[in-house]
Structure 1
Amino acid sequence: MQRKAYVPGTAALLVALLAGCSSGSADSGTTDDANPGEAGTSTAVAQPGKYRTLPEPCGAVSQGTLDSLLPGIKQITDAEQREAAYAGEATLTFDTDRKVGCRWKVESTDATDHLLVDFERVVSYDNAVSDDNQAQTIFATKETAADLPEPTASATASDSASDSASASDSATPSTSATPSSSASSSSSASASASVSASPTGLEPRILSGLGNDAFLDDALSSSGSTAQQRTVTVVFRTSNVIVTIEYEEQPATVGVVPDSQNMQDRARKLAAQLADSLNG
């Protein structure tokens, strides 16, 4: 039987075909990779904020400070009721890592006083925006909503003097806090009403020397059949935490107007203590 001759050309053709298939497989793998020239690169992520936690709000205000802001608390004769008044009531929150607050309400023979302390920790979900910058944007929104009047020379001078006093008072030890809500409708009353209700130099204004940014609002409710209520609001930002203090007083007697300077001084002293506590 005659054997078939071996044809070298056929073998070479098979080798070439196999090599082509192998080369095609490698090319398809390259197509699935990242865009050419971008391999190994990474997107810069904005810095996280300084604070990762928030303080326990009802424990953030010292007993001595509560005595000052809520004079009626000492008039409570029942020990359990007095203890409950000091303890305050935590505000409703769904995420204690992001927002916490506490309220106090105390009646006395002269007036009813309310105090709210609110902490908000801002977190940016945009890799291009830091937590601090996002907090600054939110603070600016609150400041705009407060509709503060244009600063005057007398207000600036008064504020500088108050800053020095607050700095001195804030050296007093306060409850430690581990380093978040907008102001109420009362605190965002129109600038014209607030200015007319406040003595010169005590108008709603930007505050200096308190956190990274701060402002104060002072609003007096319109007169009517009931006593007028004054609401002093201090809002400040330190890094990615925004703190809001609302201090309200309504006298028991119609015609009596709550003292603007005293209320502002008390609210600002508390703000200075909370700022020191956060930075401590």
Structure 2
Amino acid sequence: MAFVTGTALLAALVVGCSADSGTGGSAADSKPGEETVAAAAPGKYRTLPEPCRAVETSTLKDLLPGTDELTEEQQQKAYEGTASVTYNTDRRVGCSWKSEDPASSRTLFIDFERVVSYDPAVSDDDRAREVYTKKETAAGLSSPSATPDAAKSTEDAADKEKEAEKGKDGKKQTSAASDAASDVTSHALSGPSPEDDATDGGATDDAGTSDESLQPRVLDDLGDSAFLDDLLTRAGSAAQHRTVKVVFRTSNVIVTVEYAEQPSVSTVVPDSKELQERAQALARKLVEKFSE
């Protein structure tokens, strides 16, 4: 009798499970409009090159004048470069080199950043594009994403100007506010101005006029997107220091090349054209390295 009861109980359980399975299927089918969101595609690059070995020795000899006059041991040390301090070599690495000769000192720096998106709905490439755009905007170059912020800054400056007009010393305060309004629309990292170019042999043509092709700009033929910035500053009290920066994105990696020169004589202005050409040439070689 007990055996019969156990059999009946077993049958009841089987029926119950079947019923539950049917209910589960109905619950899933009750949401026909719900779709499963597929994870965004990962970036093309999972690792980064060794930065201090990314530039060929022959290229370093061209970029670092004076190293060919060093002893063999000194040359080897100069070409080894100095690795940047980083806490995650899978995400970011860099290397720098420096040379000096009687005419000037030059420095070279490269940086590789592998961007990873931790949002499953955003791909690594899309996230890298956002990071790159911020760098381009910080360089003062036109970017669609920068337009709203620039407009807001201009409006804020205009409001300050109106408030200044209500002050007791209206003329002085209005002038200061006008200067602030013009500053927010100026180049964040400006290159050689027309006035500077007139005294800079590298930034002028044979006629001595300003060469607009040497101004900071977006580059169309380098990686997925790229820009060049050119900044001339004073180092110390007299020496003039020029830094050319080329930044490009290839898939989910952002590469930065900085090439700088500081002449020994304060009246000498670093050649903008030469620095830009060499920085771009190196950037193109690095693009090819990522394509290997």
TM-score of the superposition, structure 1-length normalised? 0.71
- Contact 1:75/1:108, CA 8 A, preserved across alignment: no
Structure 2 distance, partners of 1:149, 1:51, is 28
- Contact 2:259/2:279, CA 8 A, preserved across alignment: yes
Q: Which amino acid in structure 2 is aligned with residue 226 of structure 1?
A: A
The structural deviation recorded for 1:35 is: 6.1
Quick check: 1:115 aligned with 2:127?
Answer: no
The structural deviation recorded for 1:148 is: 2.6
Structure 2 distance, partners of 1:75, 1:87, is 16
Partner of 1:202: 214
The structural deviation recorded for 1:80 is: 1.8
Q: What SS does structure 1 have at the residue aligned with 2:117?
A: coil
Indicate the larger mover: 246-255 or 222-231.
Answer: 222-231
Partner of 1:160: none
Q: Which amino acid in structure 2 is aligned with residue 213 of structure 1?
A: S
Quick check: 1:74 aligned with 2:72?
Answer: no
Quick check: 1:242 aligned with 2:235?
Answer: no
Tell me which of 57, 61, 72 is aligned to 1:63.
Answer: 57
- Contact 1:225/1:254, CA 8 A, preserved across alignment: no
Partner of 2:280: 268
The structural deviation recorded for 1:203 is: 0.2
Q: What SS does structure 2 have at the residue aligned with 1:270?
A: helix
Quick check: 1:144 aligned with 2:142?
Answer: no
> Highest relative contact order (Cα 8 Å, sep 6+), 1 or 2?
1
Return closer, same or farther for 1:111/1:25 CA change in 2, 3 Å cut-off: same
Structure 1 distance, partners of 2:220, 2:258, is 19
- Contact 2:191/2:215, CA 8 A, preserved across alignment: no
Tell me which of 93, 104, 114 is aligned to 2:86.
Answer: 93
Structure 1 distance, partners of 2:264, 2:22, is 81
The structural deviation recorded for 1:149 is: 6.8
Return closer, same or farther for 1:38/1:118 CA change in 2, 3 Å cut-off: farther
- Contact 1:46/1:127, CA 8 A, preserved across alignment: yes
Structure 1 distance, partners of 2:189, 2:75, is 37
Structure 2 distance, partners of 1:148, 1:102, is 26
Structure 1 distance, partners of 2:94, 2:19, is 60
Structure 1 distance, partners of 2:233, 2:270, is 11
The structural deviation recorded for 1:43 is: 2.8
CA deviations 1:57-103 (Å, max 9, x no partner) are 00100111111111121122x32221110010110111111111100
Partner of 2:42: 48
Tell me which of 73, 76, 80 is aligned to 1:83.
Answer: 76
What is the alpha-carbon root mean square deviation over aligned residues?
3.2
Structure 2 distance, partners of 1:258, 1:141, is 28
Structure 2 distance, partners of 1:149, 1:128, is 28
Partner of 2:267: 255
Structure 1 distance, partners of 2:22, 2:109, is 61
- How many matched pairs? 227
Q: What SS does structure 1 have at the residue aligned with 2:240?
A: coil
Indicate the larger mover: 223-232 or 117-126.
Answer: 223-232
Q: Which amino acid in structure 2 is aligned with residue 245 of structure 1?
A: V
- Contact 1:112/1:249, CA 8 A, preserved across alignment: yes
Structure 2 distance, partners of 1:226, 1:274, is 34
Return closer, same or farther for 1:99/1:30 CA change in 2, 3 Å cut-off: farther
The structural deviation recorded for 1:38 is: 6.1
Structure 1 distance, partners of 2:31, 2:103, is 71
Tell me which of 207, 217, 236 is aligned to 2:229.
Answer: 217
Structure 2 distance, partners of 1:30, 1:243, is 55
Name whichever structure is richer in helix by fraction: 2
Greater CA radius of gyration, 1 or 2? 1
TM-score of the superposition, structure 2-length normalised? 0.69
- Contact 2:191/2:229, CA 8 A, preserved across alignment: no
